[in-house]
A and B are shown apart, each in its own frame.
Chain A
Amino acid sequence: MTRLSPARYFGFLGLCTFLLLAVILISPGIGTESHHFGLFDAWRSYFQRDTDALAYRIGFVLRMPRTLLALQAGITLGLCGAVFQTLFRNPLATPYTLGVASGGSLGAVVAIKIGLQVSLFGVSGISLAAFAGALLVIGLVFLFTRGARRFTTTELLLAGVTMGLFCSAMMMFIQYLSTERQTFAMVRWMMGSVVSIGMKESISNLPLFLPSWLVLILSAKSLNQYAIGEEIARSRGVHVARLQVVCILFASLATAAVVAACGPIGFVGLVVPQLAALIVGHDCRILLPASALIGGVFLALCDWISQLVLGWAGALIDQPLGSTQLPTGVVTAIVGVPIFLSLLYRRSQ
């Protein structure tokens, strides 16, 4: 492994962290009603402690929590994507490869179908069911693959993809049996959304995210050895099986929390790690934090675009389209694909 110069390490990660903080600071100013309530109004109401003012409610009860949730989800998806791609030695791996998203979606769909109204300790029934579904699928995948003597990543991948397909089929079955309004709620849920109302709601998953982020970033060195080869990693004192289990466990836990809170937001976990690798290289020590930070900023920016773009389009053709928003997952694809393809093209030149 080549030496990582501290200048590059701290330079790049410092830049990303700066962007992240900037995003948080300007988040109270950006939303569908920006032309009525701007950044200045929001911060002024904050410093005047005028918590009843509309500018405060919009800036700090709607906008900032939403951006904070987008950042956390993006960090988690970017980081877990990088870990999975390294672990499975497969650039197509995503945090959802082991069926977390499908399991979570199936849980949510079941909850919507049976009209689960309970909200256990403030967390909504749908989110709880999604979290449970995601964990159940990961548990089953583990159970099946651990039954075999030797535990290989190929078996894990196969089991995960199969469980994912099974869950999708079950979702279709339940949708078929559902009423119009239930189906509608299901489709809406599966589009993903980072809406969160109030600071408390937006950081309620942080206790799950933080330990996972820490564990995964601390595994970077071992993952580097693992990336060279399993035998080499073993000879250098890495406990490969445990590394795999710990990484998959924490990554899945965090991803399950993202799915429960935001629905299956696609694309970030696939493309952000590759984007990061194209910029900083494959050394996990910098790749993992870089994927995390880029993922967070990327998802937050996409979420802003999703809220603003229809307003801009309306201004362009001089006809209000009705201030509406695109699903965040649509924007992540529209924005991410051109960036990614152009980077790929430049590298192949």
Chain B
Amino acid sequence: MNRASQNRIAASLVVVLIAVLWVRCDSKHAESAPSPATLPKRIVTIAPNAAEIIAALGEADRLVGVSRYCKYPPELSLKERVGGLIDPDLEKILRLKPDLVVIRGRIPEVERLCEANQIRLYRDPTQAFDDIFIAISQLGAILEKKTSAKKLIRDMRTQIDKIADAVSERPRPRVLFTTERNPDSLSRVITMGKNTFVDVIISRAGGENIFGDRKVLYPEVSLESILAAQPDVIIEVLPEIKDITETRRGKIIEQWRNLGNMPAAKNNRIHIITDNDLIIPSPRIVESIARMARLLHPEVQID
């Protein structure tokens, strides 16, 4: 191939390329017709919190498929599993013939699947604490369970207020809450910043998150700032350890003690939680707040 012809080929291909790029940008996906809003009878949910809400509204029977992270209530163990957030099993979702698919946040391939097959999609908007109530009332409307949803929200708010009242007169302990760190040393400690679920749970339970002023949601904090903040209580979540041995527990507490003279270490207020249920934004958040309040105010009776 000589130079001139190579030149010509290159030039013509560039022209073709620009042309097809243009065409490609112009081809629009066909808009799917909005499905009529009938009462859904076969629901698939990828979001664990939505599964809990649907069950709390008394409609667990309508769930035909759930993600592998949907573990509560226990009756969900009998449902078909449709993968998880990272790997939703699109074929299985289709096979279950759902008339409603529930996701939280964005899962592009599930959204496209629903669009292509005209399946109704509900996107749970939950991000901040109060969004839980929005999700409950929206799911209540979709399932035509508005009254139950209203009652559920009212009961939750009443209980949350009751806990807040019980601890309101007490001094607010300063709390370090960590979900992640290097397992063998106290390095890369990740905590929760302002307005995260845990931050709100701690404050409703009558405590103060020592890093609640951080604008970054999940800041990695240095050991000296932990030491400087002098936490009264340290709560560590280690969901990867199912049955924690006493030696392991002692070792973890020892690590914190070695860090220095913090009130939490002096007063034996280092707690290890081995389940992850604390931060699922579902009706059980009331239980999470109660649990937190019992840790922070062991002297107060909370039911």
Contact = CB atoms under 8 A, between A and B. Distances in A.
Asked whether A and B interact, the reply is yes
A178 B5 CA distance: 51
Contacts of A31: 91
A204 interface: yes
A233 interface: no
Interface string B259-301: 0000000000000000000000000000000000000000000
Interface in A299-349: 320, 322-327
Range of interface residues on chain B?
35 or more
Contacts, number: 125
B217 A180 contact: yes
A215 B94 CA distance: 40
A200 B29 contact: yes
Interface stretch (A55-63, A138-146, A153-161, A267-275): A55-63
B83 interface: yes
Given A32-B92, A242-B10, A325-B87, 16 more contacts: A54-B95, A58-B91, A121-B24, A122-B28, A122-B29, A204-B24, A207-B17, A208-B20, A211-B17, A215-B9, A242-B6, A246-B10, A323-B81, A324-B81, A324-B87, A325-B83
A324 B89 contact: yes
A208 B24 contact: yes
The interface size bin for chain A is 35 or more
A69 B83 CA distance: 22
A186 B220 CA distance: 19
B142 interface: no
A106 to B, nearest CB: 18
A89 B295 CA distance: 64
Contacts of A253: 17
Contact of A176 (B3, B25, B84, B216): B216
A237 interface: yes
A214 interface: yes
Contacts of A178: 217
B13 A121 contact: no
Interface string B1-16: 1110011011001001
26 contacts: A33-B92, A37-B91, A57-B94, A58-B94, A62-B113, A121-B28, A122-B28, A122-B29, A176-B216, A185-B106, A188-B85, A191-B86, A193-B109, A197-B116, A198-B116, A201-B112, A204-B27, A207-B23, A211-B16, A215-B10, A215-B13, A221-B1, A246-B10, A250-B13, A324-B87, A324-B89
B27 A61 contact: no
A149 interface: no
A10 interface: no
B74 interface: no
Contacts of B218: 179-180
Contacts of A40: none
A214 B85 CA distance: 38
A29 B17 CA distance: 34
CB-CB nearest 9 A-B residue pairs: A207-B20, A122-B29, A322-B81, A33-B91, A181-B105, A197-B112, A195-B109, A325-B87, A324-B83
Contact of B108 (A57, A126, A198, A205): A126
Interface string A39-59: 000000000000000100110
A118 interface: no
Nearest to B20: A207
Interface in B52-109: 68, 81, 83-87, 89-92, 94-95, 97, 104-106, 108-109
B134 to A, nearest CB: 16
B234 to A, nearest CB: 21
